[in-house]
Amino acid sequence: MRMESSVTELKGIGAKTEKLLNRIGVYTIQDILLYFPRDYIRYKAPVPPGAVLAEGVYAVTARVAGMPLLKHARGMDLVQAKAADETGAVECVWFRAAYVRSLLKAGQTYIFYGKAKQKGRGFCMEQPEIFTPAQYLEKQKTLQPVYARTEGLSNTVLVRTIRQALERIPLAYEFLPEPIRTEEKMCEYNFALRQIHFPDSIEHLAIARKRLVFDEFFLFILNVQRQKEQRTKLANDFPVQNETVIPYLLSHLPYRLTRAQKECLDEVICDLKRDTVMQRLIQGDVGSGKTVVAFLCMALMGENGYQSALMAPTEVLARQHYETFLKMCTDFKLDRKVVLLTGSLTARERRRAYEDMQLYPDAMVIGTQALIQEKAVFSNLALVVTDEQHRFGVRQRETLAEKGRFPHILVMSATPIPRTLAIIIYGDMDISVIDEVPAKRLPNKNCVVGTSYRRTAYEFIRKEVQKGHQAYVICPLVEQSEELEAENVTDYTKKLKEYYGEDIRVCCLNGKMKPAEKNRIMEEFAGGRIDVLVSTTVVEVGVNVPNATVMMVENAERFGLAQLHQLRGRVGRGEAQSYCIMVDHAQSKGSKQRLAILNRSNDGFLIAGEDLKLRGPGDFFGIRQSGDLAFALADVYQDADVLKRAAEAAGRLLEEDPALVREENRRIRELLCGEAERMSL
C-alpha cells in the first residue's frame, strides 16, 4: 500500500464510508494521514455517582448494581445497567450493543466514561465507554484525538481508519534536509506523523506538532519566494495616465477618508503608475474602510479604459459589494458598467454577464470563484482585487490573475497579523495598513462574563431587539459532541427559541449548510427578517449588517483573540452603540488574562501583538485561529517563532540552491508542486 492508494484499500471502508470521507476531503491514504485532529481530550479523574450534579462529561467509578437488562424498544436492542455506590446511582444505557451485557458483571467495579444527561431527578449516561480501573489508569496517561467530522462519520471510525493507515503504510520519505533538521532540532517525520494523531504524552505531541508546523511554513515560504521571483520583474502594461476621477469621487463621498485610508490610496495609485506590476496587500480591521479604497482604485482603472475584478469569498458578500458599487456609480453619476458573476445566477443572467465582460472594456466585475471558471473571459483585465484574501488558496488567486495579461494584484485582509509576521507570510507583496476606523463609528462596549450571566445577556438582547436591533450568538461547535464540552449551534438555537418564544425570530447558520441555504439565511438576517442569528464562526466573513448591535460569544476561551476581534467587528457597523459579550466557560487565570486584552482595546493589531506575548509552546488546545491562511495545522499567532525559523531556513536553502536542482532537494521540488495544488483547494 502506498500513500497515493485509495482510502478504500483500508479494511472496513465501504462505499458509504468512502462518500463520507470524500466529503471531508479524504480520498487517499495520504489524505487521511494529513487529516490532523482538531483537538485532544484527556480522560478526567474518576468521580463517584453522587458527584454527578449537572450535565457534562464524567468518568464515573461505581459497581454494577444487579444484572444488566437486555430490552427491545423502538426496533432495537438496548442494554440498561445501574452504576451505584453509597453516594448515589447513575443509569447507563447502550443502544444496538447487546454484547455489553456479557461484558458487565454484577457487583464488579468499572469506570464509565461519557456524557451525563438529566433524566427526571437523576442522570443517565448514553453509550459510555467501559473500563476496568487499571485500564482507565492507562487511558489517563494518553491524549485522545478529536477530529472534525461530517454528519454520519463518527470520531471512532476516523480513529480506527487512521490507526490502520499508520500500521499498513511503509515509512514516509524524510524530505527535510539533514542540516536543517539538525540545526532546527526537529524530530523525524514518521515519528511526528504518528505522535500528532496518537501522542504518548503532551511532550511528544508538542515535539510532533512543531515539526509538522515547521514543514507547512517551510514549504509555504518556498512557494511564496518562487512566486515573488516570477512576478517582481513583470512590466506594467496598464499605465495610469488620467486621475481626475479620484478627486471627483472624494469630493462627492458623504464622508471624509481617514488618514490611513488616504495613505493607503496614495500608495496604491503610486504602484499603478510604476513600470512594474503592483502586488499589494491592504490590512485593516473589519469596518476600517478597505472596500471604498478598492472602489476608488477600480474606478481609476475604468477611467483609463481598463477592466477590474473583485473576488469575494461568499455570494452574499459579492452581491453586497455589487449593490454598493452600483449605488455609488449611480449616486456619483459615474458612467461605469458594474457586472455581477456568481454561481447562483440563472443561465440567462450568466450569459449576460459574460457578454458584458466582453462588451465593456472598462467594466467593474464583482463575483465569487465563478470569476475563475473557464467560461468567464475578460477582455481587458488590468486590476484584480481579492477581498478577505485569506479565504482563498494561493492557486485560486493566481488563476484569477491569469485571466488577464499580468494584471495588478490588490488583496485585502481583515486578519490583524503583526507586521513582522505579515512580511514573512506575504513576502511577495508590499503592505499597506489601515489602522483607523471612521470617526462616526462608536467603539464596541465589551464585557467578559461567566455562564451565570447568561439570563442577563438574553434579556439584554431582548431589549436591543425591542429597540429594532439584531444580535449574533456564536458557538464553537455545529452539533453536540461526545468528546468536547462546548456549546453547539443546533441545541443552542432550540434553547433560545424556547426562551424567547414567538416574540423574537431566532435562526441558525453553520458551515455545513449548502451554499444556497447559507446565502438565504444571511440575506434574511441582513434584511431584518431574523432577530437573533446563532452561528459558528462562518459569520466572521459576512455581510455588512449595520442594524446588528450585539455579539455574544459562547466558550470565548476556545477562540483566538484575533478571531474574537474579527467576530465582534460584525457589530458596530452602524451609528448605534454596539456590544460584545464574551462568555468564559473556563474562568481560569489564563483565559481571564487573555480575554482581558479584548476588554481593554478595540485595536486589532495591538490585540494580535499582545496575544503573541501570552502564547506558550504548549498553548494549542482550542485556540487555533488562522486556519484560513492555507495551513492545515500551523497558526501564525501561536507559532510565530517557528514561522520565523522556517523563513530563515528557507532563505538559506534558496541561497545555496535557488532552483532546487540538487538531488537532495528533489523531494522538496515534488512537494512544492503538491503544496501549490493543496493550497488551491
Q: What is the pLDDT of residues 551-568, one digit of tens each?
A: 999 999 888 787 788 888
- Alpha-carbon gap, residue 138 to 237, rounded angstroms: 67
Closest CA to 462 of 490, 502, 426: 502
Least confident of 33-37, 489-493, 568-572: 568-572
Residue 468's pLDDT band, with cuts at 50, 70 and 90, is very high
Higher pLDDT, 218 or 542: 218
Confidence (pLDDT) at 671: 80
pLDDT of 618 higher than 50: no
pLDDT on residue 676 = 44
Between 610 and 545, residue with greater pLDDT: 545
- Kindly report the CATH number that applies to the domain delimited by 1-43+144-170: 1.10.150
| 427, containing H or E segment | none
**For a pLDDT cut of 90, what percent of the chain falls above it?**
46
- What CATH number is given for 245-434 in this structure? 3.40.50.300
Section 27-54 average pLDDT: 91
Closest CA to 392 of 628, 668, 72, 86: 628
d(CA 366, CA 312) in angstroms, rounded, equals 8
Task: Summarize the confidence of residues 658-665 as an average pLDDT.
Answer: 83
Per CATH, the number for 44-141 is: 2.40.50.140
Q: What is the DSSP letter of 47?
A: B
Q: How far is CA 303 from CA 296, 316, 323, in A?
A: 10, 28, 20
Question: Counting beta carbons within 10 angstroms of the beta carbon of residue 556, is it exposed (0 to 12), middle (13 to 18) or buried (19 or more)?
Answer: buried
DSSP 42: E
Mean pLDDT confidence for 5-17? 91
Query: What pTM did the predictor assign?
Result: 0.68
| pLDDT at position 615 | 53
pLDDT at 658: 84
Does residue 630 carry a pLDDT above 70? Answer: no
- Work out the burial of residue 171: count CB atoms within 10 Å of its CB; fewer than 13 is exposed, 13-18 middle, 19 or more buried: exposed
Look at residue 292 and tell me whether its pLDDT is greater than 50.
Answer: yes
Task: Give the list of residues 6+ apart from residue 95 with CB closer than 8 angstroms, or none.
Answer: 76, 77, 78, 126, 127
Give, for 477, the enclosing helix (H) or strand (E): none
Give the pLDDT mean for 383-400. Answer: 65
Q: Which three cell numbers, joined as nine digits, stand for 559? A: 477562540
- Higher local confidence (pLDDT), 116 or 443: 116
The lowest-confidence range among 83-87, 317-321, 376-380, 475-479 is 475-479
Confidence label for 28 from pLDDT (cuts 50, 70 and 90) = very high
Give dist(CA 571, CA 551) in Å, integer: 7
SS3 29: helix
Q: What is the tens place of the pLDDT at every residue in 107-122?
A: 999 999 998 998 988 9
DSSP state of 140: T
**pLDDT given at position 481:** 67
Which residues share a beta bridge with 80? 69, 93
Share of the chain above pLDDT 70, in %: 90
Is the pLDDT at 483 greater than 70? The verdict is no
Mean pLDDT of 392-415: 72
C-alpha cell at 358: 466582453
**pLDDT by residue (tens digit) across 507-551?**
998 877 887 788 889 889 988 999 999 998 877 556 678 899 999
How long a stretch of residues is the chain?
681
pLDDT higher at 174 or 87: 87
pLDDT for the residue 677: 44
Predicted pLDDT at 597:
86
Q: What is the mean pLDDT of the chain?
A: 86
User: Is-contact 581 552, C-beta < 8 A?
Assistant: yes
Summarize the confidence of residues 209-213 as an average pLDDT. Answer: 94
Instruction: Kindly tell me if the per-residue pLDDT of 489 is higher than 50.
Output: yes
User: 3-state class of 445 per DSSP?
Assistant: strand
CA Rg value for the chain: 27
**Segment 488-498 mean pLDDT:** 92
Query: Quick one: pLDDT at residue 262?
Result: 95
In the predicted structure, residue 678 carries a pLDDT above the cut 60: no
pLDDT tier for residue 418 given thresholds of 50, 70 and 90: confident
Model confidence pLDDT, tens digit, residues 293-344? 999 999 999 999 999 999 888 888 888 899 999 999 999 999 999 999 998 8
pLDDT at 453 over 70: yes
Contacts of range 399-403, beta carbons closer than 8 Å, 24 or more positions apart: 399/372, 399/680, 400/309, 400/311, 400/371, 400/372, 403/309, 403/371, 403/372, 403/376, 403/377, 403/378
pLDDT at 261 over 70: yes
Please, which pLDDT band fits residue 24 given cuts at 50, 70 and 90? confident
CATH architecture for segment(s) 445-601 = 3-Layer(aba) Sandwich (3.40)
Of 201, 196, 223, 199, residue with least CA distance to 211: 196
Q: Residue 250: its pLDDT value, please?
A: 95
* Residue 620, pLDDT score: 44
345: exposed, middle or buried (Cβ count in 10 Å: 0-12, 13-18, 19+): middle
Domains 245-434 and 445-601 share a fold: yes
Rounded distance between C-alpha atoms, residue 78 and residue 98, angstroms: 6
Burial profile 194-225: b = 16 or more Cβ within 10 angstroms, e = fewer: bbbbbbeeeebbbbbbbbbbbbbbbbbbbbbb
Per domain, the residue ranges of the chain are: 1-43+144-170, 44-141, 245-434, 445-601
496 has pLDDT over 90: yes
**Between 589 and 679, whose confidence is greater?**
589
